[in-house]
Amino acid sequence: MESEKIKQLIKSYEETYIFATRQLHDAIAEQILGKEGISFEQFLVLRYLAENGESSPNHLATVLHVHKSAITTKINRLLEKNLIHKEKNQQDQRSFVLNVTENGEKVYQACEQKLEELVSSWVEILGEEDSEQFLALYKKITASVIRK
């Protein structure tokens, strides 16, 4: 591919990443999470626990691709809000595992429903075929980045 075309792709990616990703993040945070008083990153922790069951902080840091110190802050905020709770790990009494509370499950379900409604409205705008093509391309890009 010619050099000028590559430069255009880089510029386009930069604009899309900076603008679209930030707008997406802000839309989710404002429309869905702001009402529940949690950040997008806290929601990702809550969502993982709600969908996968108990987990250790180390495992959460790994699957969410964040530093262990960052996951501690997110966990503490969710504990303060009574959305998750911790208990001793039955296999290793020196550590603990995290679970979603009943209140956390309610918040997760409410946020998930709003998220589905938001994404459905985007699919309506793009159309099903363009949405599927976008996801296919996004998966290819992700796989390419992971291989490197």
Residue 80 reports pLDDT greater than 80: yes
41 vs 133: CA distance, rounded Å: 27
- Structural domains counted in the chain: 1
pTM of the model: 0.75
In-domain check, residue 20? no
Instruction: Find the CATH number of the domain harbouring 101.
Output: 1.10.10.10
8: in domain: no
- What is the structure's pLDDT at 148? 58
Determine the longest span between alpha carbons in the chain, in angstroms: 59
Q: Say if residue 123's pLDDT is above 90.
A: no
Q: Across all residues in the chain, what is the average pLDDT?
A: 85
- Summarised one tens digit per residue, pLDDT across range 31-48 is 666 666 788 889 899 999
Confidence at residue 31, expressed as pLDDT on a 0 to 100 scale: 62
The Cα–Cα gap between 95 and 29 comes to 32
Residue 126's domain comprises 37-147
Structural domain contains residue 19: no
Tell me, yes or no, whether 3 lies in a domain. no
Report if residue 15 sits inside a domain. no
